[in-house]
Every structure is written in structure tokens, then in C-alpha cells.
Structure 1
Amino acid sequence: MRPTQWTWEYEDAEGRPVEGDTSVFPTQADAETWIGESWRGLRERGVENAHLWADGAKVYGPLSLRPAD
């Protein structure tokens, strides 16, 4: 069965949770497109890393939101 809800969770540099966008996405591609367009705003709010979840199961993370050097 395919996941139906994709969400992001966020953390600061110390690994503490950071409140961020709580949008629910219908596909992994939608969630990844959104983070690609929104990471700068999240960084401005202190988010260092993001974790992708599908129906409550962690898919991957931490995903660094720092720009590549």
C-alpha cells in the first residue's frame, strides 16, 4: 500500500525540534518539491535539518538545509 500522507519534521543545530510548516503532501515528489522551494525560509527560522515522514514512518533524514559550499 502506498503512503498517503507525507510530512516534514524539523530540528535545529542541536537536534531539538523546531516548529515549521505542517503541510501534508499527497506524494513524496510534492513534499520534496516543497522543501526545495522553502528551505531558505525554514533556515531563517533556525531549521538546520529536515526529516521526511510517510504515514508516521520515517523515510529519511536528517536532510541538511545548509547550502552547498
Structure 2
Amino acid sequence: MDEFSWQVQGRDGMPIADLPAPSFPSQADAEAWLGESWQELADAGAAAVTLRQFEDVVYGPMSLEPPS
């Protein structure tokens, strides 16, 4: 089974370990969760997320900040 997870990063680019980022069985499930949770993550101080499959980067970092 594939394992996908989001690495949540602060404005300094460092991972934020205390924000929830569960693992998912598929990329689609991970992306659906982010679609529902991105604002909560941003409100908690997250600036970007990176999607990982195990230790490999699928894509990111992707900004959670609104476009200027």
C-alpha cells in the first residue's frame, strides 16, 4: 500500500511537527484532506506543504498563503 503524507512547513521553511498531518493510502485522499484542511493549517502558522510518498517528494513545497 502506498503511503502519502504532507510535510507542513512554517514561514522559515522548517517542518512544523506539532500540526496534524495524517498518512493516506492514496495521493487523491491526501489532496482531498488538504483541500479541507489548508485554511486550518495556515491559521495555525503553516506557510507551505510538501506531499511525500514515504520519504520521496511528490511535489512541493506548495504555498498556503493567498496570492499577492
2:67 & 2:25 partners in 1: Cα distance?
28
Give the equivalent residue in structure 2 for 1:43: 42
RMSD over aligned Cα, in angstroms? 1.4
1:43 & 1:32 partners in 2: Cα distance?
16
Tell me the TM-score normalized by structure 2: 0.87
The percentage of aligned residue pairs carrying the same residue is 37
Give the equivalent residue in structure 1 for 2:11: 13
Aligned length: 67
Give the equivalent residue in structure 2 for 1:31: 30
Tell me the TM-score normalized by structure 1: 0.86
Letter in 2 for 1:66: E
Gaps of 5+ in 2: none
Gaps of 5+ in 1: none
